[in-house]
A = this chain, B = another copy of it.
Amino acid sequence: MDNSKHTEFAGLKNIVVFDSFWTPFMDRIRTKVIPYQWEALNDRIPGAEPSYCMRNFKLAAELTHSELDYGVPRDTGHGGCVFQDSDFAKWIEAASYSLLWHPDPALEKTLDDAVDIVCNAQQDDGYLNTYYIINGLDKRFTNLKDNHELYCFGHLLEGAAAYYEATGKRKFLDALIRYAECIDRLIGPEDGKLHGYPGHEIAEMALVRLYEITKNEKHLKQAKYFIDQRGQKPLFFEEEERRNNNNFYWKESFFRYQYYQAGKPVRDQHIAEGHAVRAVYLYSGMADIARLTGDEVLKRACDDLWNNIVNRQMYITGSIGQSAYGESFSYDYDLPNDTVYAETCAAIGLAFFAKRMASIAPKGTYGDVMEKALFNGIISGMSLDGKSFFYVNPLEANPEASLKDHGKRHVKIERQKWFGCACCPPNLARIIASLGSYIHSLNDNAVYTHLFIGSEAKLRISGADISLKIKTKYPWEEQIDISFMMSVKTKFKYYFRIPGWCRKHSIRLNGIEQRCAVEDSYALIDREWSAGDRISLVFDMPVNFVQSNPHVRKNIGKIAVMRGPVVYCAEEEDNGRELFRLYAGNPDDIIVRHDKDLLEGVTTISFTGKWEKDWAGDTLYQTAGTVLEDKKIVLIPYYTWANRRAGEMTVWINKMVK
């Protein structure tokens, strides 16, 4: 593998975001979501189903250390899901990120106290999972397939790493290192150990992160074992079922062990299959290992999986996981808009995968997909007031169908408050709170800008400290200003992504139009940079009518409207009911208008389209003869749907075919 293209993303320590689009989201996460989630984790939301999450840790600590008394009655059991510990982990990860860009001693104190509670639950041998501590340690590691033990470990490790990075405090990280060692004593290639791996992946990438903090090879080795062992014959999960009489829920499904991406070795996996979040978490770990070990075969599997997702199984919103059954990938070109799952967490996981693929070697596709997911299928998961959340992000919604069609009952038309199984809200919090770390990556002599987010980064490049500042009103406006500061002139390559949606762009360097070489969709300016150098980019943002590959059954004869990276949709609120009767022609009256008072400030698109008229008479079937009339169509950004009244929504609109 050509590792000259390897880059590392600049971390949150080195970047501050001040972006007209994203800062309000980050502030919502910081001021609303993180505090609300802490209350939720502590069962203090009136009227909401309790989480039990912190109570579980307290109870586990009490059961472990008889002198501890958090006041949890010792005969209450473990509450919530088997993976309830991960809610705390995601929360502390998000909260830690927020400390990096918004120091807050009170919040840090809350985190410190929470870490004390969690660490108190740890067993002498390092084990730390409340479900088994409370329900009986004799059962631990008897159902790696379904009981999320290694998943919770991975999330706790991600949380501990973030907390360490934000505060410099090692307590939580050290606890997780001990837990990793405990796992390593029981699971691994050696005889007498379980030859197992996570049923729900994440530990792989978490261990890589730990390795990157500690530089201790044993963590990398443990991650690599989970990757290498996965899907090897005899199948561990099958043997585990036999040994422990575990259920196999997916026996009758077509994906079977591929639900867990564990039906064959990962290097033999070329099509994205099974549970979508698990899949992209695994692929992220695979990409990490491929980069760190130079494993070409593993890299090729990553490439194939990436291409399969992006060219065959990804919604135009960057969402993935088409099927509610198993929250899973289904098959190539199957992209139903109404029965869709498109879990918020899966789009987030796709951004994780994209970031890691970009780390191996930047290519436009990775930045394009990160951007697509972020501006569409990820933030659609949260209401604009930060108080309610979608798990499922449909591209077509119909209140009557959600109520009366059992196959669409998972498609909600209003975001929900908080969930007993609360994966998406804290996952949203952790990606938005760490958004700064998706902007630039660099190696010794090159900086790549992947996302155009208003920010200032302090980067060390070619032995010098530079500052790289982005100013923009992206995605609403076409202009992006990038400026550099440094104390000494420094030669390095500056690459910036030309978005895949952009057909025409201009680049000025210090006011002078440039013709830049473009490699893998990244424009390059290679020069000796001086303080005050500035780049002005203009990415033309005409309204773009987009269609799907003709293999996509559900989008045939339809278009979606995009402008820049933003996907638009029609809502009942603006267009009335039965949106499926709308037709977009080739309008010559498109109006693009920014409305600062609408939906926290959005650019809307409107034009004259057509509408299939009502019939005279009340029959179901008649000799064909469509009658269309003019109809004004008003579109809003997809991510803002369902923030007004509940109603219909559609991304795809009929087109005229002559």
In the complex, what distance in Å separates the CA atom of A167 from the CA atom of B559?
A: 65
Which of the 9-residue segments A126-134, A545-553, A630-638 touches chain B? A545-553
Interface segment, one of A10-18, A190-198, A524-532, A578-586: A578-586
- Identity of the chain B residue whose Cβ is nearest the Cβ of A610 in the assembled complex: B657
CA gap between A254 and B406 in the complex, in Å: 9
- Chain A 246-273, CB-CB to B under 8 Å as 1, else 0, gives 0000000110000000000000000000
A628 partner residues in chain B, CB cutoff 8 A = 657
A405 to B324, CA, bound (A): 9
* A109 on the B face (CB < 8 A): no
Shortest A457–chain B CB gap in Å is 31
From A314, A334, A407, A622, residue with most partner B Cβ within 10 Å: A407
Report, as a range, how many residues of chain A touch the other chain: 35 or more
CB within 8 Å for A407 and B339 given contacts A550-B615, A657-B654: yes
Chain multiplicity (copies): 2
Tell me whether A544 is interfacial, beta carbon within 8 Å: yes
CA distance A339 to B406 in the complex (A): 11
A312: B residues at CB distance < 8 A: 620
**A550:B310 contact, CB within 8 angstroms:** no
Given contacts A578-B551, A583-B657, A656-B657, contact A621 B556 (CB under 8 A): no
B621:A548 contact, CB within 8 angstroms: yes
Is there a chain B Cβ closer than 8 Å to A400's Cβ? Answer: yes
Do A331 and B404 contact each other (CB < 8 Å), given the known contacts A550-B615, A626-B655? yes
Contact indicator B254/A403 (Cβ below 8 Å): yes
Interface presence of A79 (CB below 8 A)? no
**Chain B residue with the shortest CB-CB distance to A586:** B624
Given A612-B550, A658-B658, are A323 and B405 also a contact pair (CB < 8 Å)? yes
Please determine whether B334 and A405 come into contact, CB atoms closer than 8 angstroms. yes
Closest chain B residue to A400 by CB distance? B331
Q: Which residues of B contact A559 (CB under 8 A)?
A: 624
* Closest Cβ neighbor of A552 among chain B residues: B620
Measured CA separation A176–B550 after assembly (Å): 60
Q: How far is the CB of A630 from chain B (nearest CB, A)?
A: 14
Report the separation of the CA atoms of residues A546 and B619 in the bound assembly, to the nearest whole angstrom. 12
Which chain B residues border A626 with CB–CB below 8 Å?
Answer: 547, 557, 655, 657
Q: Does A614 make an interface contact (CB < 8 A)? A: yes
Is the beta-carbon distance between B334 and A550 smaller than 8 angstroms?
no
Determine whether the beta carbon of B545 is less than 8 Å from that of A654: no
Interface assignment of A245: CB less than 8 Å from any CB of chain B = no
Contact with B along A532-558 (1 / 0, CB 8 A): 000000000000111111111100110
Residue of B nearest to A315 (CB): B620
Indicate whether A623 reaches chain B with its CB closer than 8 angstroms.
yes
Closest-CB distance, A658 to chain B (whole angstroms): 5
Check A623–B546 contact: CB distance below 8 A: yes
CB distance from A271 to the nearest CB of B (A): 12
**Which of A405, A548, A552: most chain B Cβ within 10 A?**
A405
Additional A-B contacts beyond A546-B622, A557-B654 (6; CB < 8 A): A253-B406, A331-B405, A550-B578, A556-B654, A626-B657, A656-B658
